[in-house]
Amino acid sequence: MITKDTAEPKLEFAGASPYDRYVKASVLTALQEPWSEDPAEMAFLVTTQVMELWFTLLVHEWRTARDALAQDRAQDALAALHRSLPQLTALNASWTPIASLTPGQFNSYRAALGEGSGFQSAMYRHLEFLLGDKSASLLQPHRGVPRVHAELEAALHSPSLYDAVLAHLARQGFEVPAEVLERDLSQRYEPHPGVEAVWTRIYADLRHEKLVELGEALTDVAELVGRWRTDHLLATRRAMGSKQGTGGSAGVAWLEKRANKIVFPELWTARSYV
């Protein structure tokens, strides 16, 4: 007699298996095409492709949170932000296979990258735009792919996650400065003392427990993004020192500048006044 414990899994399907149709595993595992003869290049290629998938998921979660806040559905926004935290942790862990490359190891396939650089990642640019770090000039590398360029241009002019947070706070009765709420959304967000005062008020009053929870979820995101940037800097410094980056950037000097940028700045500075 066949029972649930002894039944064999179904092995025959017409066409691709249901698993492959859903996960597209055969597509994913066919995307690795090393451009050098060095077998170690495969680890670099797979690692960066995995990072792209994490970027895609994080953009999805933060867009979900932003759109929920636009409708004042704070709990749905919190759920998305909380989901994104282990995802960010996993993204940061993605550095592990390539974090300790020596210059010689990296140089063995660096030439294959040519002018390629993670700086040119469209999905990472979406992620940074959602964090409020915007610049129209950063659309330039994507002009050759009209669909991607159009999507990024739309993201440039759309509210960031933090813009949605501040608009939500304003609708809850907090005095978010008008110049912040009405600012040019295509510009990089800059810290404002009026926003710092709003967060100070929220954190100083125990009645604002739910908004503190929102603030802490955003702070967790900011902290993990900061670690990502620092890990990127350290891995690059270890692999190539202060040489120019593969995409023509200043390399480590550029990454140092990025690592010093604080995400959601007033959430950090307000703590000094609570």
Task: Provide the residue ranges of all domains of the chain, joining segments of one domain with +.
Answer: 48-101+121-241+249-273
- Report the C-alpha gap between 60 and 108 in whole angstroms: 35
What average pLDDT does the segment 156-183 reach?
A: 98
Does 236 belong to an annotated binding site?
A: no
Does 126 belong to an annotated binding site?
A: no
CATH number of the structural domain 48-101+121-241+249-273 = 1.20.58.480
Does 102 belong to an annotated binding site?
A: no
* Alpha carbon distances (Å) from 155 to 32, 106, 108, 123, 146: 29, 34, 37, 11, 14
Could you read off the pLDDT of 114-148 as tens digits, one per residue? 777 778 999 999 999 999 999 999 999 999 999 99
Residue 246 in tokens:
């593969």
Q: What percent of the chain has pLDDT over 90?
A: 80
Buried b (16+ CB within 10 A) or exposed e, 78-100: bbbbeebeebbeebbebbeebbe
DSSP 198: H
- Report the C-alpha gap between 62 and 46 in whole angstroms: 24
The pLDDT mean for the chain works out to 92
* Alpha carbon distances (Å) from 38 to 17, 158, 247: 33, 43, 21
pLDDT of residue 249: 60
Residues 117, 246: contact at Cβ < 8 Å?
A: yes
For residue 227, count CB atoms less than 10 angstroms from its CB and return exposed for 0-12, middle for 13-18, buried for 19 or more.
middle
pLDDT of residue 34: 92
Return the SS3 of 265: helix
